[in-house]
Every structure is written in C-alpha cells, then in structure tokens.
Amino acid sequence: MRDSKKFSANNNIFHKSFEIGILIKAIDGVFEIIGGILLIFLNPSRLSKLIAWLTQHELSEDPRDAVANFMIALSSKFTISTQNFGVFYLISHGMVKLILIILLWKRKVWAYPLTIVSLILFIIYQIYRYTLSPSIGLVMLTIFDIVMIILTFIEYRRIRQSWN
C-alpha cells in the first residue's frame, strides 16, 4: 500500500511537470507565430534603420561601444533570405508545437509518440544550428526538449496503463 502511494506521488509529480512543460511550449509556440508574423514586416532596410535609431545615442557618446557596434554588424547580415527563412521557421515551428500540444491536451494517445519524434527532430536541427553558431540559448532549449521527451514518454506510459 505504501509503495503504491509513493508511485502515485511520483507519477503525479511527473504529470504536473509534463503539464507545466507543455504549457511553456504552448506559450513559446504562440510567441514564435507572433514573431514570425512580425518578422514579415521587418525587412533588412527597416531593421538597419531601427538599429541605427536605437544605437545613435550610445554611439554618439562612445563610437567604440561594443554592444551597439555588435547590433549594427548583426543587422548588416540580415538579408531577405534570412527574413524569409525566419518567417517560415518561426510560423511553422510554432504551429507544429501548438497542434501537438492541443492533441496532447485532448489526450490523443497517438500524439505522444508523434510529439517525441517531433522533439527529436527539433533537437537534431538545434544541434546542427549549434555547430554553425554556438549559443547558450540553443543548449538550454535542447536540454528542455530532452526533459520534455522524457516527461512525454512517462505521460504516454501512464495514459496507456490507465486504458488497460
């Protein structure tokens, strides 16, 4: 009896963690879609003007300001193809996440393995992006996705056991 309570408590912790994780993923998916839509209107010319406006005060005080110069250099690498890729990636990635999360919230059993496969594909892409441009953000996102794979698997097992 005592062991079953301990198992149930652990299972509840994993379930709550899973629910919180997919809520975070849902919020992230909405922000990705919004970001992709906003990116439609931010072409290279507008970005350069925006960065120039944001950095002009700082550069007038210190023309060698590292952050301001970094932002200017980064904006100069923003091209139409970068914009198009960003729009496509953010909107499609956000939509895939939201669709999967809705299916998980509806407890569609087949959505759990599909979510795990999707997260694995996202991780592979994130590792690829990391090899091109190392980023602590990508590392943190990848770790979060690995945790979500584990929680999704545990939740999938729990749901399948409850059906038996």
Tell me the per-residue pLDDT of 106-134, one tens digit each, with 9 for 90 and over: 989 999 999 999 999 999 998 998 898 88
pLDDT tens digits, one per residue of 26-72: 999 999 999 999 999 988 888 888 888 989 988 899 888 888 888 88
Q: How many whole angstroms separate alpha carbon 124 and alpha carbon 135?
A: 15
Helix (H, G, I), strand (E, B) or coil at 14: helix
Structure tokens at 147: 């945790």
Whether 149 contacts 122, CB under 8 Å: no
Q: What residue type is assigned to position 91 of the chain?
A: I
Contacts of 38 (CB under 8 A, 6+ apart): none
Confidence grade of residue 85 (pLDDT, cut at 50, 70, 90): confident
pLDDT at 4: 47
At 62, phi and psi to the nearest 5?
A: -145, 95
pLDDT at 140: 92
Contacts of 83 (CB under 8 A, 6+ apart): 39, 42, 43, 44
For the segment 137-151, the average pLDDT, to the nearest whole number, is: 92
* Closest C-alpha among 109, 87, 111, 110 to residue 98: 111
